[in-house]
Structure formats: structure tokens, C-alpha cells
Amino acid sequence: MELLLILDAMKRSSADRITAVIPYYGYARADRKTAGRESITAKLVANLITQAGANRILAMDLHSAQIQGYFDIPLDHVYGSPVILDYLIGKQLEDIVVVSPDVGGVARARAFAKKLNDAPLAIIDKRRQTHNVAEVLNVIGDVKGKTAVLVDDMIDTGGTIAEAAKLLREEGAREVYACATHAVFSPPAIERLSSGIFEEVIVTNTIPVKESDRFSQLVVLSVANLLGETIWRIHEDSSVSSMFR
């Protein structure tokens, strides 16, 4: 609502062009109808933002890339992975295997692995029983004796990524790191993530992390420079394609 009010105020003030910078698109997971009478909230919010006056959108790590099609205005979609990759490369980890916590995240994990010197890829085979409750079955790929890097777009309750980490430990992974752009951290995420199953939980500041939610294994990286450079390129009408992934 704050964003809509600001957009409306700018529109009524005769702004020439309005770009809405949305680091975390909070309704992205409700992007399709899976049952009967339910709202496609991602599309509804796109309509609201457009009608309020936005001429362009800058978003980061949308849950589904096809959400870009919900907007009838230009949308620049950038990723938080370059910031996380720079941090991991600086740690000089050995024997890395990049792990997707579910089949749906394979494309993301594959792109991430390519930037880590073509690291091998593993996949967690998962069956979700009910909302926010995940049952992990097995690992597809070799993780024994390796440093496993779990990659996802967000961590909500932490159930999926915590169960994945436990399974990786059981399969012989030497170390387990969790990486995600958006730290949603709905309860009981903090308890799960700080239980000692991760060497580090690496996130960005697209969502501010409260002091009460911080724990010793948590690493919060800033995407300010990435967003700032993208905003400047949009303002100058230059290309942002090189920053997409």
C-alpha cells in the first residue's frame, strides 16, 4: 500500500517517468490457480502497481520468471546471485557441489554452478505433503566428502532447505552452505537454520533482517551496489542485460 500511495502521489505530481524498484516481490508465489476459486495474487499486484502509475519495474529474483509477463510495462529482472557468488569465490571453498533443494530450482542451481567454475550439480528429490511442509526423499548426484552449496531464491520457514541439509549430511557431505536472495524467515525458520546443520546461511538484504533474527551462522550481503548500478543504467537508457545473471 505504501508503494501504491507513493506511485499515485508521483503520478499526480506530473512525474515524467516512474520506475518502481521492488527488491522483493512479495506475492510472487501466488502466480497460478492450483485449485478452485482462488486469486492469482501475483497478477493482481502487477495490475495495482501499473494502475497506480508505474511506467517501469525493477525486480530481483522473482520466484517465477514468467511473472514478468503479468506486466504490460517494461520490467528489468536482475539476480542476487552475483553478490553471493563473489562472496563464495572469496572463501575459496574446495570440492564444491551446487545443490538444488527441489526439481523446480534446477535451472537456477545450474546457472549458479556454471559461475563456480562449472561445479557439479546435485538435486534433492522432494515430495511436499502440505503447505510449508516438505518431505525429502533422496539426493540425485554425488555429495560424499564435498562442500555442498544449497541454492534457492528465498528461505521462508526454512523447512525445505533444512531437511535438504540434513539429508546431505547423511549422504556424507563434508560441509553445507545455504544461499538465498530473499530472507523471508517466517517462524520457525531461525530455529531450523541456527541448529548447527549449516556452516553458513548466506542471504542478501532485499528484505531487512531484524536483529532478533540474526544468528552466528548468518551472513547478510548487500545488493545496494547492484541495484544502484541497474537504476543508473535505466536512467541513462543503457543496457542492463549484462547484469541479468
Kindly list the domain boundaries of the chain, sorted by start residue.
2-79+225-243, 81-222
Cα–Cα dist 124/164, whole Å: 7
Question: 31 φ, ψ to 5°?
Answer: -110, 5
* Residue whose grid cell is 545455504: 178
pLDDT tens digits, one per residue of 77-133: 999 999 999 999 999 999 999 999 988 889 999 999 999 999 999 999 876 566 656
Instruction: Please pick, among 114, 126, 146, 166, the residue that the annotation labels catalytic.
Output: 126
Domain 81-222 sits in CATH at: 3.40.50.2020
CATH topology of domain 2-79+225-243: Rossmann fold (3.40.50)
Cα–Cα dist 165/145, whole Å: 14
Confirm whether 2-79+225-243 and 81-222 share one CATH topology. yes
Does the annotation mark 126 as catalytic?
A: yes
Cα–Cα dist 152/178, whole Å: 8
Q: Are the CB atoms for 68 and 31 separated by under 8 Å?
A: no
pLDDT tens digits, one per residue of 1-55: 999 999 999 999 999 999 999 999 988 887 777 777 788 899 999 999 999 999 9
